[in-house]
Amino acid sequence: MKPCDKHFDALRRVLQVKNLWRLVGSLDAESTRRRARAWLAGEAGPGDVDPLIISILELNQKAVTFIGPRVNLPGTGGQPQCALCEAQAAFRNESIADAWIDNCTDAVLIFVKVNDL
């Protein structure tokens, strides 16, 4: 699920600082779905590696692991919840989103460097 605007902007800024935004591809729905499926299936080639998609998938999975599957349920507006907002609420900790974003993007950065991307 795409994070809320506040957390999407925070994630974008961190990816830019870590020089990973240069690998972010088109954000159109079909392209995004294709690259997400490739990543989740373990079939992502060099052209499919998208730090934004990988980070969002990993952050969402982290939230499901720590909070439970309710993270994927629609909120009051019918839209999926922001996993990072849910994590902050569950842990009553406003800094957890920044910490998770930093951790997940560090892992992506290592993956990118190891694979010479």
Contacts of 52 (CB under 8 A, 6+ apart): 11, 12, 15, 21, 24, 27
The verdict on 83 binding Zn ion (CB under 5 A) reads no
The Cα–Cα gap between 78 and 66 comes to 23
Structural tokens at position 71 = 């993270």
The single residue among 85, 89, 96, 117 that binds Zn ion, judged by CB under 5 A, is 85
**H/E element holding 27?**
none
CA nearest 37: which of 57, 7, 64?
Answer: 57
The verdict on 4 binding Zn ion (CB under 5 A) reads yes
Angle at 49 (CA atoms; ends 3, 65), nearest 5 degrees: 45
Pick 8 or 39: Cβ nearer Zn ion: 8
The single residue among 14, 15, 49, 84 that binds Zn ion, judged by CB under 5 A, is 84
Q: Which region among 17-25, 33-41, 61-69, 83-91 touches Zn ion (by CB under 5 A)?
A: 83-91
Q: What is the smallest separation between the CB atom of 69 and Zn ion, expressed in angstroms?
A: 18
The verdict on 82 binding Zn ion (CB under 5 A) reads yes
Q: Which region among 11-19, 59-67, 74-82, 104-112 touches Zn ion (by CB under 5 A)?
A: 74-82
Interface positions with Zn ion (CB under 5 A): 4, 7, 82, 84-85
